[in-house]
Structure 1
Amino acid sequence: MIKHIVMFKLKEADGRSEYENALEAQKRFDNVIANVKELKKGKVVINSKDAPESNYTISLLCDFDSIDDLNAYQVHPAHLEFGKFIGSVKTDRACIDYEY
């Protein structure tokens, strides 16, 4: 199994607050989870409003059976569409992929 964890720092954009953009990202990523068969398990977590501002805003936690499935997910149209949105509201990104 491959664990794919991505963290984003979000900003105010498109007339929405950082937190509102996190909620929108969560909603849009639910569409990715529903449409990418290679994604075995996916979850979005949003940082607590009371946590330090230096924290990342949102994290995507994903499980794949193999690195090939992760690679297929990366080019899936639903993931690419999500990427367009997140690209417009992020200020920073960190990612790690590991086998377990």
Structure 2
Amino acid sequence: MIRHIVMWKLKDSAEGASREENALKLKEKLEGCRDIVPGILHLEVGLASPGLESTFDVVLVSDFVDKAALDAYQVHPAHEALKTFAGAVREARQCVDYEV
């Protein structure tokens, strides 16, 4: 199984919306990818909680059956559209994939 974790730090404003609005939009778009390819076992999206120290605004934690499932997810049109939006609103991005 492959665990895929991505974190985004968002711009204060982008695409005509605030950081908070874009965090909610990104969460919605990510959750819309939950079942786009076979082999996604788990997909969870978290937003930084106000009052708790955070250096990033949005986190994705997802599990895939294998690398082939993760690869299929990466190139799916819904994920490609998500990447376009994320690229426009993000200040920074970090990612780690590892075997569980």
Report the TM-score, using the length of structure 1 for normalisation: 0.91
Structure 2 match to 1:48: 49
Structure 1 match to 2:36: 35
Shift of 1:24: 0.5
Shift of 1:37: 2.7
Q: After the TM superposition, which residues 65-76 of structure 1 pair with which residues of structure 2 at under 5 Å, given as runs?
A: 65-76=65-76
**Identity across the alignment (%):** 40
Counterpart of 2:65 in structure 1: which amino acid? D
- Structure 1 residue runs without a partner (length 5+): none
Measured in 2, the distance between the counterparts of 1:15 and 1:68 equals: 36
User: Runs ≥4 in structure 1, deviation > 4 angstroms?
Assistant: none
Q: CA RMSD in A?
A: 1.3
- Name the structure where helix makes up a greater proportion of residues: 1
- CA contact 2:37–2:69 (8 Å) conserved in 1: no
Q: After the TM superposition, which residues 1-100 of structure 1 pair with which residues of structure 2 at under 5 Å, given as runs?
A: 1-11=1-11, 12-52=13-53, 55-100=55-100
Measured in 2, the distance between the counterparts of 1:10 and 1:97 equals: 21
Show CA shifts across 1:13-69 (max 9, x none).
Answer: 1221111111000111121113233322101100112234x6100001110000111
Q: How many residues align?
A: 99
